[in-house]
Amino acid sequence: MNAPPKLPVSLAANPLLSSWLTFSRDGHVLVSPGKVEIGQGIVTALAQIAADELDVDIARVRMVRASTAMSPNEGVTSGSLSIQQSGRALRHACAEIRRIFLVAASDRLGVAADTLSVEDGTISGPGNVRTSYWELAEDVDLKREATAGASAKAIAQRSLAGHSVERLDIPDKVFGRPPFIQDQVLPNMLYGRVLRPDNARASLIALKDETTRTTAGLVAIVRDGRFCGVVSETENGAEIALQALGKAAVWSEGDALPDENDLASFLKAEPSELTVIDTRPAPTPATKARTIRRQYTRPYIAHASIAPSCAIAQWTGDKVHVWTHSQGVYLLRADLALVLNLPVENITVEHMEGAGCYGHNAADDVALDAVLLARTAGGRPVRVQWSRQDEMSQAPFGAAMAIEIEADLDPAGEIVDWRHAVWSNGHAARPGRATQPALLAGFELEKPFPRMISSNPPQANGGGADRNAIPLYNFPAWTIESHRLLTMPIRTSALRTLGAQGNVFAIECFLDEIASERAEDPVAFRLRYLRDERARDVIRAAAKRANWKPERTPGIGHGIGFARYKNTGAYCAVVAEIEGDEDIRVRKLTLAVDVGEAINPDGVINQIEGGAIQATSWVLKERVRFDQQRITSTSWSDYPILRFTEVPDVEVELIQRSELDPVGAGEAAHGPVTAAIANAVFDCLGVRIRNLPINRDSLIAAME
Amino acid sequence: MPSVRFRLNGVERDVDTDPDRMLLDVLRGSLAVTGPHFGCGAGECGACNVMVDGRAVSSCDMPLWSVAGKEVMTLEGLGSAEHPHPLQRAFIAEQALQCGYCVSGILISAAALLKQNPSPSKDDVKRALDGNLCRCGAHNRMVRAVLRAAAEMAAR
């Protein structure tokens, strides 16, 4: 017997059909997913799905920004899950809504529902009878719960999925009609700025704010414990007041930060909590001839979005409306309710686009800043924006990691046992998931909330520091462990891929080393240890496209890297071509990717290209710098990222598998690209770089 | 207060304000022109680039007085949906962005390049855009878009 059909997870959690979609009488479909646009093009892919399922022209689809006032609660837009979760729910909801309208049309037109067809929203049947979604909209009540019965169209009947529809948001962005929150001006709006110390743990000893009080346009100086800021009539006035306030503030020293040049020792010495992530016992006792052990590290990495974080808040009595580029409007609302000690019903959080978001950045923090400053604004909205310096030093970072892998080899040099251990702070301290808030200002108030120590999502959700630590390779035995730090001198949370970049770097470089010692081709070596045909296909496709392995040329190196993101998401293999002498330049990245059904192939390719280029930047350039007291990499000079002249050519081959459920593409490339570049450096220069970033310093250190 | 006069997107403007204020702040604040974006405030990212007498410059570290009598162009002056500049058409055709926050400054840098060099090579384009940062990794698409626009303009 078949199991009863189940609703997609997101739809089961938000079954009210009208929360996903409504029709307007003027011929538009208003689609309101709970996931948000963060520069990844998700709203276009979701519009494609809705248009396909409903049989309407995509030009009729209006994508509504997520808001706690009405949208389905889809948690957070993260983990490359939007197309999987929101896409599936929306497809199902649209299929059911289409059916409901066909029944209503059948009643009105007096013909059987199964004789009706839909073309661009017009429903027609035998005898030339016709009506439309828009005509019926008033009579059809979508305030009803989704049922499991509706079935979506067969793949062959979809006309938009699988096609590279142009993104809906791009024209506004090239014509200067940007939807960015940083550009929004509400009537009577004021401007706020917050002052923060260089050391996040410093206390505010004194604030002599007489000069600040005289600055032009000043509306309020806000102080609550260590939290202090200004509100002004103009943005320029707010900047001037902030400068004055900075001179007026006397801060204590804070807690000491670790040694930036010895992260592995620091990570291994701190108190930590050990979790055994996975074990695979050996089926038969193997003969161990020798053991190889290697240690890999990656530094703290900054989000470093091009726009500093920004939010707008407006109080009306004891209710507050917040505009934010947070990844999760409901989660932010939950944390705001904790800090403000208000029921969630008093808080409306509405999404508005910011610049590219690569994880848990300062979007949520600045939202609380705006809410706190706006309390003094007499009901006027206040827009608060962080400085570049704060964006680079106060926002959470991607966590530094130390990874140790040991492999037991048999006399033939085959892997018989494998042990992988990670030391790292947790990779998640997102708002809305705990009984305490995760928002920066919450730790600074007169009655502060305890500073949240980041944790790791469970492996069932993809894991955190341990993400991609379990090898996809078919080794006979393994033990995978994660040591999560219980202290957090440097604030960490989710950054693109969480721990996967570090783990894939370690696994793929270690495998490369073992293959090289065996004098075996690294592609052939990987294929021997992989059973998963989709994994083998992307490796073979990338290798073929890159003419693996190109003839040796002095000064040029080639390397390969592979992973399936989270071991459940997109498959990605890449061949890197680098040029190396005293510096490393990445010339070309050739990738092959399998995301199952690619709803918008060009959107997938754009995400993979972007991921590959961002990963190249992480690998070659990025490292958060600090001394004993403060983060020192607070500008683009101190925290350089890859520039146009340094960007490699990127080629992406997409393996389209329309019959398989789609998965996200945004995080698939980072790990494989990191490893491929490191392996290419070995191919070129004969040195193994095991500590990121790969730059002149790490090359010299590795050669010594 | 002394006033500063300059042409903005082809229109003569008189601004009564402190001439030491930065151009970006005046554009976004007093003049409500939001095409140029704040990114760093130190002239290091190019998000606020505007064209001054045909050259792309950052406006966040340029005092207002320095543009007195000059011609300033922002994204708003480049083209519109009704009358797009070839660069704008090309950025749509190549889907040459992800988040798009940096694009305003990049279009300005590209437009300044095409004024000086109507048939740039790929390397010319990369060099011209080197002062503009993009964090999403849409660089190669943007370079292709600029080359496409150059080809379109040459074919006219």
| CATH hierarchy code of domain A9-174 | 3.30.365.10
Entry pTM: 0.97
Predicted local distance difference test score (pLDDT) of residue A704 = 83
Distance (Å) from the C-alpha of residue A242 to the closest C-alpha of chain B?
15
Backbone region of residue B46 per phi and psi (left: phi > 0; alpha: psi in -120 to 50; beta: other values): left
Residue B2 has pLDDT above 80, yes or no: no
Fold (topology level) of A182-253+304-394: Aldehyde Oxidoreductase; domain 4 (3.30.365)
pLDDT in tens, A99-147: 999 999 999 999 999 999 999 999 999 999 999 999 999 999 999 999 9
- 């930036």: which residue's tokens? A260
Residue A154 has pLDDT above 50, yes or no: yes
pLDDT in tens, B66-84: 999 999 999 999 999 999 9
| CA proximity to A83, closest of A23, A40, A25 | A40
Judged by CB atoms closer than 8 Å, whether chains meet at B41 and A183 is answered as no
Residue A6 has pLDDT above 90, yes or no: no
Judged by CB atoms closer than 8 Å, whether chains meet at B40 and A635 is answered as yes
Residue A692 has pLDDT above 90, yes or no: yes
Q: Is the dihedral of CA A419, A424, A427, A433 positive or negative?
A: positive
> What would the mean pLDDT of A681-701 be, rounded to a whole number?
96
Name the token pair of A563: 């992973």
Predicted local distance difference test score (pLDDT) of residue A492 = 98
> What would the mean pLDDT of A289-299 be, rounded to a whole number?
97
Candidate from A167, A185, A387 with C-beta closest to B95:
A167
pLDDT in tens, B93-105: 999 999 999 999 9
Predicted local distance difference test score (pLDDT) of residue A3 = 57
Predicted local distance difference test score (pLDDT) of residue A81 = 87
A120 C-beta neighbours (distance < 10 Å), count: 14
Candidate from A41, A304, A643 with C-beta closest to B130:
A643
| Interface probe with A: pick from B60, B108, B135, B148, most Cβ of A within 10 Å | B135
Q: Which of B:102-121 have CB within 8 Å of A?
A: 102-104, 107
Distance (Å) from the C-alpha of residue A296 to the closest C-alpha of chain B?
26
pLDDT in tens, B28-53: 999 999 999 999 999 999 999 999 99
| Interface probe with A: pick from B24, B25, B94, B95, most Cβ of A within 10 Å | B95
List chain B residues with CB under 8 Å of A650.
140
Predicted local distance difference test score (pLDDT) of residue B1 = 59
Pairing label, strands A218-224, A401-409: unpaired
List chain A residues with CB under 8 Å of B80.
175
Amino acid at A522: P
Residue A302 has pLDDT above 80, yes or no: yes
- Cα–Cα distance measured from residue A523 to residue A562, given in angstroms and rounded to the nearest whole number: 10
- Long-range contacts of range A682-689, CB-CB < 8 Å, 24 or more positions apart? A682/A512, A682/A513, A682/A516, A682/A557, A682/A559, A683/A557, A683/A558, A683/A559, A684/A555, A684/A556, A684/A557, A684/A578, A684/A579, A684/A580, A685/A557, A685/A580, A688/A509, A688/A513
The answer, yes or no, to whether ipTM is higher than 0.90 is yes
Residue A415 has pLDDT above 80, yes or no: yes
Judged by CB atoms closer than 8 Å, whether chains meet at A170 and B104 is answered as no
List chain B residues with CB under 8 Å of A167.
95
Predicted local distance difference test score (pLDDT) of residue A80 = 83
CA dist A700 → A106, A414, A554, A582, A689 (Å):
76, 32, 19, 8, 10
- Cα–Cα distance measured from residue A74 to residue A189, given in angstroms and rounded to the nearest whole number: 30
Backbone angles phi, psi at A182, to 5 degrees: -60, -20
List chain B residues with CB under 8 Å of A603.
95
A516 C-beta neighbours (distance < 10 Å), count: 16
A178 — pLDDT class (breaks 50, 70, 90): confident
List chain A residues with CB under 8 Å of B37.
178, 180, 182-183, 306-307
Is B85 within 8 Å of chain A by CB?
A: no
Q: Are A299 and A624 in contact, with CB atoms under 8 Å apart?
A: yes
In A181-259, at which residue ranges do the beta strands (DSSP E only) sit? 190-195, 204-207, 218-224, 227-232, 249-251
| Residues above pLDDT 70, as percent of chain B | 99
Q: Are A66 and A351 in contact, with CB atoms under 8 Å apart?
A: yes
Residue A434 has pLDDT above 70, yes or no: yes
A560 C-beta neighbours (distance < 10 Å), count: 30
| CATH hierarchy code of domain B3-78 | 3.10.20.30
A1 — pLDDT class (breaks 50, 70, 90): very low
Beta bridge partners of A297: A402, A691
The CATH architecture annotation of domain A401-427+463-703 reads 2-Layer Sandwich (3.30)
Same fold, A182-253+304-394 and A401-427+463-703: yes
Predicted local distance difference test score (pLDDT) of residue A307 = 98
Residue A436 has pLDDT above 50, yes or no: yes
Candidate from A169, A235, A617 with C-beta closest to B29:
A235
pLDDT in tens, A224-249: 999 999 999 999 999 999 999 999 99
B86-155 to CATH, choices 3.40.605.10, 3.40.50.150, 1.10.150.120, 1.10.10.10: 1.10.150.120
A285 — pLDDT class (breaks 50, 70, 90): confident
DSSP string, A664-701: --TTSSHHHHHHHHHHHHHHHHS----BSS-SHHHHHH
How many whole angstroms from its chain centre is CA A646?
Answer: 24
pLDDT in tens, A534-582: 999 999 999 999 999 888 899 999 999 999 999 999 999 999 999 999 9
Q: Are A323 and A364 in contact, with CB atoms under 8 Å apart?
A: no
List chain A residues with CB under 8 Å of B35.
176, 178
Domain coordinates in residue numbering, chain B = 3-78, 86-155
Q: What value does the mean pLDDT of chain B take?
A: 97
Reduced to 3 states (helix: H, G, I; strand: E, B; else coil), residue A612 is helix
Q: What value does the mean pLDDT of chain A take?
A: 96
- Cα–Cα distance measured from residue A343 to residue A334, given in angstroms and rounded to the nearest whole number: 9
**Among all residues of chain B, which has the CA nearest to that of A615?**
B137
Domain coordinates in residue numbering, chain A = 9-174, 182-253+304-394, 401-427+463-703
Candidate from B39, B133, B141 with C-beta closest to A641:
B133
pLDDT in tens, A313-330: 999 999 999 999 999 999
| CA proximity to A90, closest of A57, A141, A43, A160 | A43
| Interface probe with A: pick from B98, B106, B141, most Cβ of A within 10 Å | B98
